Amino acid sequence: MKMNIQVNEKRIYGKRNQMIYGHFIEHFHRQIYDGIYDPESPLADEDGFRTDIMEAMKRIQIPILRWPGGCFVSSYHWKDAVGDERKPFFDKAWRVEDPNTFGTDEYIKMCKKIGCEPYICTNAGTGTAEEMSDWVEYCNLENEGQYAKWRIQNGYVEPYNVKYWSIGNENYGFWEIGAKSAEEWGRLVREAAKMMKHVDPQAELSAAALSDVDWNVNLLKNCGEFLDWISIHEYWDMVPEKNDLATYEQCMAYTVRIDHAVDEMRGLLKAMKLDKKIKIAFDEWNLRSWHHPNVHTIKQGIDKKDYLDPRDKNDDNSQYTMADAIFTASFLSAMNRNCDIVGMANFAPIVNTRGCIYSYSEGIVLRSTYHVFDLYVNYLGDTIIDIWSEEFPTMKVTHKNGTEMELETIDILATKWSDKPGLALSVINKHPVESQKINLSISCEGKKVDLYGISGETPDSYNDVNKNEVTIFKEDLGDFKSNMEIEIKPHSVNIIQVI
């Protein structure tokens, strides 16, 4: 089947915020220690940061990096991790000791090296509204009060000017330390937001929500006037207890209505007349949840081989295939289409665990998902425009729950640039073995056409140490002709530039 694609560059849906290509890092397993922060490594700089990881992060122009959690933050007290006298603590979320050698000052220093905005998630579990606002004082006040003076004493004279703050993490969940009822959450967020805004009226605040009407209505009724963002999270292939990963076909099933949470939150914000004031921060997402058995359960693992050692399974690079890449691209395309209401998204995490960068003592591996961010950040436009086709090819797949589903094989997003001429289309082919042909109808006769993409030989292709099966390729397709036919490889993510 051949698709006839019509593109209308004069019909603009909106301009996406670069922050939808954001990332997240948490004190879990090897993300911070033995990850980005490894002072003993010969690859570390004078501040202890792995230079190879930072260069990879700069390549995909990370716009914003959420930290320190995640579940970790709900028993984290930031004051123990600044200054000369660091106090190690037992992290009750992940049941390990954290040395607190990586704290606020190191995080800000890392963000400056990478060139990204910091986004601090505060402790709304065992913490208090005052502790949250003290953190804003430390970061943002010039020299007033004990906490700004403490920052200066620690050698950081200029304020950090952290603009983005999240009140808590998943405090609606039983697994979260310091979980709250809807009523408790509304009151805590209101008081925390009030105090944080009193310290810095320009701070932009987010708070945790989920696809639950009662929770969200209570939160927005109590706190809507204080909030700039509403935070939502989602992992599709849930494998915390058993690392039984979805197959390629099952992962494609997850791409159906991939933006359902956005639709639900949009409807609620609109109903409460807050859609022009509050934007969505999809500030924790990934195809697959992190594997950490016998921790977020009533019955805890006793032996470390039952709850700690299994986390090493997250480091198996063979798990991160073209299925992960295509899901990631489908999510990013959906967030681009929702650019009027989604202003931020944070892939979880950036390094190790399910991250798009894997580190080992001698270097790094760029997983398939890394190259998706490279394509979207460096080759796609920032303005979303209209695209239309009379018919999309479909394929049948079986969901992990056993349900048979039909989904569109091709996902297309059309963009242009606000600062230069030309068009760029994201074209995703979800079919595992069949290529697809598209006919492009656009007013670009004579302009140069280049295709940048990733595919791999099979849907299960992956990258590992000394193994690069998924890398960006380029095809020069010549000059554009009316109704130009372009063949799209199976299991592939592609950016077609017409410049």
Cite the active site residues: 170, 284
Nearest Cα neighbor of 392 from 476, 474, 456, 488 is: 488
Helices (H) and strands (E) in the chain, counts: 11, 25
Q: What is the 3-state secondary structure (H, E, C) of 29-56?
A: CCCCECCCECCCCCCECCCCEEHHHHHH
Q: Quote the CA–CA distance of 169 and 70 in Å, as a whole number.
A: 6
- Provide the H-helix boundaries in 273-381: 304-307, 322-337, 368-379
Element (H, E) at 416: strand 410-416
On the CB side of 191, CA atoms within 13 Å amount to 11
Do the beta carbons of residue 105 and residue 51 sit within 8 Å?
no
DSSP state of 173: S
Q: Which residues, listed in sequence order, are joined to residue 492 by a DSSP beta bridge? A: 429
Which amino acid does the sequence have at 211? Answer: S
Do the beta carbons of residue 342 and residue 421 sit within 8 Å?
no
Q: Quote the CA–CA distance of 42 and 50 in Å, as a whole number.
A: 9
Residue 99: what are its φ and ψ, rounded to 5°?
-75, -10
Map residue 328 onto helix, strand or coil.
Answer: helix
Residue 207: what are its φ and ψ, rounded to 5°?
-145, 155
Dihedral sign for Cα 479, 484, 490, 491, please.
positive
Tokens standing for residue 458: 């099979």
Q: Quote the CA–CA distance of 454 and 475 in Å, as a whole number.
A: 11
CB atoms within 10 A of CB 279: 21
Q: Which residues, listed in sequence order, are joined to residue 363 by a DSSP beta bridge? A: 360
Tokens standing for residue 175: 């697994």
Rg (CA), the chain: 23
